[in-house]
Amino acid sequence: MPEYRNPKPTVDLFIELPDGRFVLVRRSNPPHGWALPGGFVDEGEPLDRAAIREAKEETGLDVELREQFFTYGDPSRDPRQHTLSTVFLASAEGEPLGGDDAAEARAFRPDELPPLVFDHATIVADVLRYLRTGERRKL
């Protein structure tokens, strides 16, 4: 009987600071590069708790989740394995500080973004369009 394999659940956060900047982390593990804070959901862990935990571990920030934005599930979104990422919009105060598997955490203005890994450029574009126009990503 073949082994049944499922995608791995993850969370990502678009953390907005009071001055309009948002937080990215520079990954210390492959694939290297800049990404939204986030990571894998632990077994038995609710999605919102996973998001709050990952934000704290990777950025040092205590976040307030504002809403669950969208779930991204393209099988090619993560080169390591098939993942499903539920994205949360969040807010926080303070300056981020990289921790856990984030080599660095910084806040960026939307017009000064570095190249992003995974499908995070798509996610950021979708969120920025939503914040600007109220238009959600279409299924």
Domains of the chain, with CATH numbers?
8-133 (3.90.79.10)
Tell me: the pLDDT tens digits for 13-46?
999 999 999 999 999 999 999 999 999 999 999 9
Grouping H, G, I as helix, E, B as strand and the rest as coil, residue 68 is: strand
**Active site includes 104?**
yes
Indicate which residue of 16, 104, 112, 135 is catalytic.
104
**pLDDT at position 118:** 96
SS (H, E, C) 10-60: EEEEEEECCCCCEEEEEECCCCCEEECCEEECCCCCCHHHHHHHHHHHHHC
Q: How confident is the model at residue 76 (pLDDT cuts 50, 70, 90)?
A: very high
Closest CA to 90 of 2, 136, 22, 8: 22
Q: What is the pTM of this model?
A: 0.94
Tell me: the pLDDT tens digits for 94-139?
999 988 888 899 999 999 999 999 999 999 999 999 999 999 888 7
* 1 pLDDT more than 80: no
